[in-house]
Structure 1
């Protein structure tokens, strides 16, 4: 099927703190920490742009794995669709800056599930041919869409920013083989969150609280995981690392408990990072690689979710970091 040759992540220079959000919203700091679990975390500054983070992540990958630029035939930029500039292609902009001029550049929008969707798209037909590659970029500007002056938006106060880049190939040496991908959307939640234009920016607004989303998370992730494990002939005991979007720590713990995976097989970054968008699971994967906690043959499962509401399970086999 193909997989990830190499990947990297990048964080903005700026940070946002619970004290900042308290000053803007009036929400007490302890109440904010119930959501963020961290006193501060990376978030785009006033003059920082998400596409530039994606460019830096991609540049790091291509320094380590210096493939010919004309061998990169797809550049896919994954996120929420609220790019730095309206009516604009961040995929094409990054390609131009990198000197990639023979690729088809386009965007994939599925919110925080977009990165894994884009990985699958990159390897679907037409997949990269022999000696060809795709470059998948994952970036968003979530913190810039949160109204930190609105106490009603407290549930979103953990939204931070980061970017990731994956060099993808269908043949040749690969660090991670894509074994299986299973995704679904429950459109009944389509309108639960929506953006609105306020003070020159898109702001995320949630509709009045509606019960059932927590149960939908567990049910959908569990079903997709079972579908994936059945296809692979594996069981939960065979999962070496289970990485999930860092949106809600309690949901993370509940899901692990439901599917029977010890917390030690996952990664918890809530003490120093917020929900960093679609880059969450790749940040955790980068941490495992950098700390040499991966072994050849490890089964790594990424659980990603997105407003809309979509859920995805992506199974990878570790084959050894390249470069």
Structure 2
């Protein structure tokens, strides 16, 4: 979808102060040394008991809102996404973020889109602003704190190391330092079973053991002959489709863009999923920096965008491509044009 008059007015991030390195986790017997070497993630941030996903998201949001110049009453939508436990059951994290930031009576919605949460929210918020002339601004947040015994950040997934943190973005129909030229999303529900596992559960955390995403993948692989090759083929096809759609709607091509944002995934996944097939250079991404944070779910892309602009590297006229993928599977791509270097 090509967008007119849709801008990024503010970005924000919150990272807990406490850091644990992969080397420390290996020494403590929490992480396998060979896996640490293969995955390439150097460190993660670890939240305190009080730093839940929504609490961190609200902190990131306050920064983004202050930078946006939009008064609270102009926010007609608040979207919040997370992967893991958000600090309480039968409760609305999105309304907590709204109450702690802009207040008001605009719509506040929590949604789950896994690691694609931040970018999926951008596309949803873009549609909301475009279809409602009375809505000037929308806030999108994503935040997670991964805790034992529910999730083992080092071992629940063999190719993912989970770090804690939150990101926020303010979309505006009035103006900003960057313009969203286009977004696109695409799904492949035939791959949904990869993360489902062998059986249903009656209640959350039914077994009392950490989520074993690696084992769920193993169940799926055991049920289908040649399933891995077929899945990798579909994943590659869908990535190409959604990327080309967004680039075409933005009237550009990948070689003509300057920056590329992707999740803080394991090095082999990044290498074979992005760098080799797309011909990317590490220097045009935030990935080396992201290896010091781990995978923060849907917040990765928002935090990385914030970091990119805080470094002052993007210049007016530069194009940024952000690509997200979440279990389900669903991909979202956003093409962003830099209008100016923000003062912050």
The question of a shared fold, defined as TM-score above 0.5 by the shorter chain, is answered with yes
Q: 2:266 aligns with which of 211, 233, 248?
A: 248
Q: 2:310 aligns with which of 290, 296, 319?
A: 290
Residue in structure 2 matched with residue 279 of structure 1 by the alignment: 299
Q: 2:282 aligns with which of 263, 266, 288?
A: 263
- CA offsets 1:28-55 (integer angstroms, 9 cap, x no match): 32433422531x2113234421111111
Residue in structure 2 matched with residue 182 of structure 1 by the alignment: 184
Residue in structure 2 matched with residue 15 of structure 1 by the alignment: 19
2:332 aligned with 1:312, yes or no? yes
Q: 1:80 aligns with which of 71, 80, 83?
A: 83
Would you say how many aligned residue pairs link Structure 1 and Structure 2? 319
Residue in structure 1 matched with residue 195 of structure 2 by the alignment: 193
- CA offsets 1:167-202 (integer angstroms, 9 cap, x no match): 1112x2212212111212211221222486156587
Deviation, 1:65, is: 3.3
Q: 1:139 aligns with which of 120, 126, 143?
A: 143
* 8 A contact 1:49–1:84 mirrored in 2: yes
Q: 1:205 aligns with which of 186, 208, 213?
A: 213
3-state SS in 2 of match to 1:242: strand
Unaligned stretches of 5+ residues in structure 2: 198-203, 222-227
3-state SS in 2 of match to 1:147: coil
CA distance in 2, matches of 1:90, 1:22: 34
Deviation, 1:115, is: 1.2
- CA offsets 1:280-313 (integer angstroms, 9 cap, x no match): 2222222221221101121111010111222221
3-state SS in 1 of match to 2:205: strand
CA distance in 2, matches of 1:109, 1:222: 24
**Residues 26-105 of structure 1 aligned to structure 2 (within 5 Å):** 27-38=31-42, 40-80=43-83, 82-105=85-108
Residue in structure 2 matched with residue 164 of structure 1 by the alignment: 167
Change (3 A) 1:315 1:187: same
Change (3 A) 1:54 1:177: same
Change (3 A) 1:299 1:33: same
3-state SS in 2 of match to 1:155: coil
CA distance in 1, matches of 2:30, 2:313: 42
TM-score of the superposition, structure 1-length normalised? 0.87
Unaligned stretches of 5+ residues in structure 1: none
3-state SS in 2 of match to 1:192: helix
3-state SS in 2 of match to 1:197: coil
3-state SS in 1 of match to 2:179: strand
Deviation, 1:10, is: 0.8
* 8 A contact 2:167–2:300 mirrored in 1: no
- CA offsets 1:200-246 (integer angstroms, 9 cap, x no match): 58725332433234444433222211222223332221111111112
- CA offsets 1:73-125 (integer angstroms, 9 cap, x no match): 11111223742211211111121122512221111221111211111111214
Change (3 A) 1:11 1:198: farther
CA distance in 1, matches of 2:27, 2:206: 20
Question: Alpha carbon RMSD of aligned pairs, Å?
Answer: 2.7
Higher strand share: 1
CA distance in 2, matches of 1:295, 1:314: 18
Change (3 A) 1:96 1:201: farther
Deviation, 1:26, is: 6.0
